[in-house]
Structure 1
Amino acid sequence: PPASSAYPAPYGAGGGAALSLPPVPPVLAERCAQLLARLTQQPDGLAVMAKEDNLARLVKLLTSSEKYGEHRERTEDALIRCIAGAMTTAAGIAAVVDAGALPRLGAILKDGLADVKARATALGNLTKCVITVTSDGAGTRSHHAALLRAGVVDNLIELLKRAGEGPVRKNAAVALARLARNPECLARIRELDGMRILMALGRELTT
């Protein structure tokens, strides 16, 4: 049948693809998020997910994840993996930030500290998001300030203390080092003794 509100236009029709998901049961939301994360690993899927409007929609799904109950964490893990992989341009990064991702990422980071091992995949991808948002050309002062307000600096330091050696701790250290370029973030890092922790992990960061 022709594309309509009941039958969304397929990829390539009507100017390209855009995510348009109706309200779904939590278990289906989880499965859809996992499928989107797998699609992002494929070149064609990544090209679609990297569109600014689709990144904004992913953030919208992430910011409403509290309603998914027992499926919340697995849904969040998949959405964060998708966002981390699809933020490939400055416009995409701006779309993620403008859609309100940073406060939600801060909340998920804090929540993940309760069981770092169980949520290692999500925390690893979440710290990748922070690294991308604070990269040269993307990490504006407003991004740093938003991350600081969201408690990301405090919780990255706590993550460094709790995570064992491996990608999660390494990503957290890199993210914190990027944030340290901002004077306000640096002051908070020093206040929480984060510089000493980063110095102690220096060898790990270079291997």
Structure 2
Amino acid sequence: MFSHTINNPNNFLIQNHDFYAIPFGHRCSSALACKYAGIRKFSLPFDWTIPTFPSKIQQVLTNDFDDFIPDVHHNIFVNRYGIQLKHFNSNLDTGIEEYQRRINRFGDIIGQSDQKLYFIYINEDYLYDSDYREDCLNDAIFNEMLELEIFLQKNMSALITIFCILTLNPMRSLPNQTLLVSYCRALTYITSMIRLPTKIYVTIVGKYYRNCSTPDWC
């Protein structure tokens, strides 16, 4: 079992219809959590990538995914942004086509002016890497997320709402940020050190998306 606390000072409510959930890293756990919580509708470019910190995502978006797909034919799977493309199709040409479709799909979604988006960010490494439980690193990730939200609000057409899951130290206090009202600031604290991240995050994501079905083991 595990214990957690959900901090949602703005009483942010998820709309359980007419939205897209977009996994935004830090690893594959975001895409897996969305999948098993029943809210992942299709593949997107950041589903199976590591490590995708918010600042790296912003760099990719700023450059419109230029050189996002590395030279996989020469066994290079880390792109110019320092992001590794994991679980790449063994048929490299097919894998390239898959990523191109995901990039195009992401652009189509972002360009819909009436679309509600939820960006899912999970710092899975908190569970088994002590470096990711340091306040300085978590503060940096949190601030990068705020900067990424500003970038999205300024540069994307869609109705942006970020649903952010960060596994931070439960004893620390959050910055008093009032940067954007739309930022949900919903942070989840995992306090037990068990190596079942997918089950943990699906359970938590399922609590937000109450109308979505989740598997029995959650």
Shorter-chain TM-score range: under 0.3
Where is the strand percentage greater, Structure 1 or Structure 2? 2
Q: Which has the higher contact order (CA 8 A, sep 6+)?
A: 2
- Greater C-alpha radius of gyration: 1
TM-score, normalisation: structure 2: 0.26
TM-score, normalisation: structure 1: 0.27
Where is the helix percentage greater, Structure 1 or Structure 2? 1
